[in-house]
């Protein structure tokens, strides 16, 4: 709800301008944190626009949490602007970064963010629409086996689909060797939207993959169907097989690799270091962008329940937000954030950020910082809101800084001053 207190609005508006932009091509900008007006006071919610719908949250704090503000003085630096539509970023053991570029190449960046090597020769991608070379991750044993895993959109006779591939980074770091596609999200569809495509490793070295429902009204119903990979969180081994004893391993006509279902376009995955739980960010339509905790076998509702409306206006299906047997989001936005990659801050360097969730915003053009307590969002802050960038993916570096890549080709570093 939008506050009626003018003072609170002014304070809340100050959050958006808290970090100045890198103007006129400047590579560096700095800001100092400011104290809250009173020790126990809270700011107004950072969102002040009218929602798209009149839907009511299922519980207090499910949307428009109180505003918060980082007190630690921080510095914002643009390390490079030379990337070509970066999509995923991962830390290498030596402090460097490995980045995917949408058109089909990977780049190795130095620890200070400068492009160093280009990796080519990957399987052909379909970069139309939301497709291309997408997320990537390195094997937990990368230091010894040099294995890299990535997702990409692939043209097939039946249409396009999201695929997962793996291969070994060559000694000269210019190519991936012994490439093998280990999993394909099927059925294929003749469209170029909602691939999902984030990948993370669990503690056992298996892969969680987010798979979108491909956007169309023809396919979105498959998010509720257990004989389809669309609209699911998938759990597979590094060979692409279903992890044993999955929640649907003994369910007739269900794909054993399905871990959860009822997802629209899940574009972010990250493990909460405080609990070990898997968290997910998911695009809604007009409104209804979500943050979820992913539990095995659970149904997250799309398209049956949603806090969003159709792009053309009107209800999605019957327009309900709650239904027995379907999970509620931990948090949602209306209007949308367009949540892309997410990461938990797991460093002690900026202590007040410890275990906070950071969410890259695309159409909203900012990074959302979410303060988490007992699996609930209790505070929200907007960072880099004046940069005019679509924040695609995030990671926390070995130095405790937050790094973010943008669709325009920038790599940002947000660090303690």
CA distance 136 to 151: 6
Q: Find the helix or strand (DSSP H, E) in which 142 lies.
A: helix 142-145
b or e along 256-268 (b: 16 or more beta carbons within 10 Å of the residue's beta carbon)?
A: bbbbbbbbbbbbb
CB 137 within 8 A of CB 130: no
**Conformation bin of residue 159: beta by default, left when phi > 0, alpha when psi is -120 to 50:** left
CA distance 205 to 142: 11
Establish whether 194 is a catalytic residue. Answer: yes
For residue 222, the 8-state DSSP code is G
Pick the catalytic residue from 28, 85, 194, 366.
194
CA distances from 172 to 47, 100, 119, 150 (A): 48, 18, 10, 19
CB 172 within 8 A of CB 183: no
- CA dihedral 346→78→210→154, nearest 10 degrees, is -150
Active site (catalytic) residues: 194
């Amino acid at each position: 709800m939008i506050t009626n207190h003018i003072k609170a609005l002014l304070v809340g508006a100050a959050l958006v301008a808290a970090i100045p932009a890198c103007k006129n091509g400047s590579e560096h900008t700095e800001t100092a944190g400011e104290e809250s007006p009173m020790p126990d006071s809270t700011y107004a919610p950072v969102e002040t626009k009218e929602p798209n719908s009149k839907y009511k949250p299922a519980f207090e704090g499910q949307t428009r949490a109180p505003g918060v503000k980082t007190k630690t003085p921080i510095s914002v630096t643009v390390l490079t602007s030379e990337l070509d539509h970066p999509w995923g970023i991962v830390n290498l053991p030596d402090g460097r970064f490995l980045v995917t570029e949408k058109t089909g190449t990977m780049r190795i960046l130095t620890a200070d963010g400068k492009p160093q090597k280009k990796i080519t020769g990957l399987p052909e991608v379909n970069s139309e629409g939301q497709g291309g070379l997408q997320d990537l991750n390195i094997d937990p044993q990368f230091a010894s086996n040099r294995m890299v895993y990535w997702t990409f959109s692939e043209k097939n006779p039946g249409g396009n689909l999201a695929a997962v591939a793996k291969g070994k980074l060559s000694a000269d770091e210019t190519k991936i060797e012994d490439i093998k596609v280990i999993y394909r999200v099927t059925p294929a569809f003749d469209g170029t939207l909602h691939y999902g495509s984030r990948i993370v490793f669990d503690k056992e070295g298996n892969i969680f993959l987010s798979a979108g429902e491909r956007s169309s009204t023809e396919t979105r119903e498959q998010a509720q169907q257990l004989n389809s990979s669309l609209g699911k969180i998938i759990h597979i081994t590094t060979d692409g097989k279903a992890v044993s004893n999955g929640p649907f391993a003994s369910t007739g006509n269900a794909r054993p690799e399905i871990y959860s279902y009822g997802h629209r376009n899940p574009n972010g995955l990250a493990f909460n270091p405080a609990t070990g739980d898997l968290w997910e960010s998911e695009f809604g339509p007009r409104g209804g962008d979500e943050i979820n905790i992913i539990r095995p076998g659970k149904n997250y509702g799309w398209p049956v329940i949603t806090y969003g409306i159709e792009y053309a206006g009107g209800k999605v299906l019957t327009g309900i937000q709650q239904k027995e047997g379907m999970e509620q989001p931990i948090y949602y936005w209306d209007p949308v954030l367009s949540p892309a990659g997410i990461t938990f801050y797991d460093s002690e360097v900026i202590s007040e950020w410890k275990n906070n969730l950071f969410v890259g915003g695309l159409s909203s053009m900012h990074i959302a910082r979410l303060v988490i307590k007992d699996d609930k969002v209790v505070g929200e802050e907007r960072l880099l809101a004046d940069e005019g960038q679509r924040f695609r993916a995030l990671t926390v570096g070995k130095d405790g800084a937050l790094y973010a890549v943008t669709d325009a080709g920038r790599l940002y570093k947000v660090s303690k001053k």
